Amino acid sequence: MGRTGLSKKELSRVEVMGRVKAHFGELVQMDGSFHEWLEERGPRGCLMHMVDDATAQAMGRFSAEEATWAAAGLLRGWIERYGIPQALYTDWKNVYVRPPNPQERMRGEAAVTQFGRMCARLSIRIIAASSPQAKGRVERAHGTHQDRLVKKLRLAEIANYEQANAYLDKHYLADHNHRYARPAAEKADYHRRRPTARQLDEVFWLEEQRVVSEDWVVHYKNRLLQLERQSQHWAPAKSRVRVRENQAGEVAIHYRDQHLRFRELTAASPSLGGRRDTTPSPAPPCFSSPQSSLETRLPTKKHLHLFRGHMKPPPGDISIVV
The model's pLDDT over 293-310, given as tens digits with 9 standing for 90+, comes to 334 444 444 444 444 444
Residue 181 pLDDT: 94
Least Cα distance to 234 among 165, 283, 296, 183 occurs for 283
Averaged pLDDT, 42-46: 95
Contact 191, 24 (CB under 8 A): yes
Rounded Cα distance, 259 and 295, in Å: 7
Which of the 8 DSSP states describes residue 286? Answer: P
Rounded Cα distance, 109 and 106, in Å: 8
User: Tell me, what amino acid is at 73?
Assistant: G
Buried b (16+ CB within 10 A) or exposed e, 251-273: bbbbbeeeebbbbeeeeeeeeee
With cut-offs at 50, 70 and 90, classify the pLDDT of residue 12: very low
Write the pLDDT tens digit of every residue in 24-33: 999 999 999 9
Residue 236 pLDDT: 82
Least Cα distance to 262 among 251, 273, 270, 271 occurs for 251
Least Cα distance to 264 among 322, 217, 196 occurs for 217
Rounded Cα distance, 249 and 309, in Å: 13
Rounded Cα distance, 12 and 127, in Å: 19
Residue ranges matching CATH 3.30.420.10 in the chain? 8-199
Averaged pLDDT, 251-266: 90
Q: To the nearest whole number, what is the mean pLDDT of the chain?
A: 80
Q: What percent of the chain has pLDDT over 70?
A: 73
Residue partners of 82: CB distance under 8 A and separation at least 6: 24, 25, 57, 191, 194
Dihedral of CA atoms 193, 180, 130, 185 in degrees, nearest 10, equals 60
Helix (H, G, I), strand (E, B) or coil at 18: helix
With cut-offs at 50, 70 and 90, classify the pLDDT of residue 238: confident
Contact 195, 84 (CB under 8 A): yes
Averaged pLDDT, 157-185: 95
φ, ψ of residue 170 to 5 degrees: the values are -85, -30
pTM given for the model: 0.76
Averaged pLDDT, 188-213: 95
Pick the CATH number of 8-199 from 3.90.550.10, 3.10.310.10, 3.60.21.10, 3.30.420.10: 3.30.420.10
Helix (H) or strand (E) holding 252: strand 250-255
Measure CA of the first residue to CA of the last residue in the chain; give whole Å.
33
Angle, to 10 degrees, between the axis of helix 136-155 and the axis of helix 173-180? 130
* CA pseudo-torsion sign 98, 104, 109, 115: negative
Bridge partners, 87 (sequence order): 125
Strands (E), 42-165: 45-52, 58-63, 87-90, 125-128
With cut-offs at 50, 70 and 90, classify the pLDDT of residue 269: low
Residue 287 pLDDT: 54
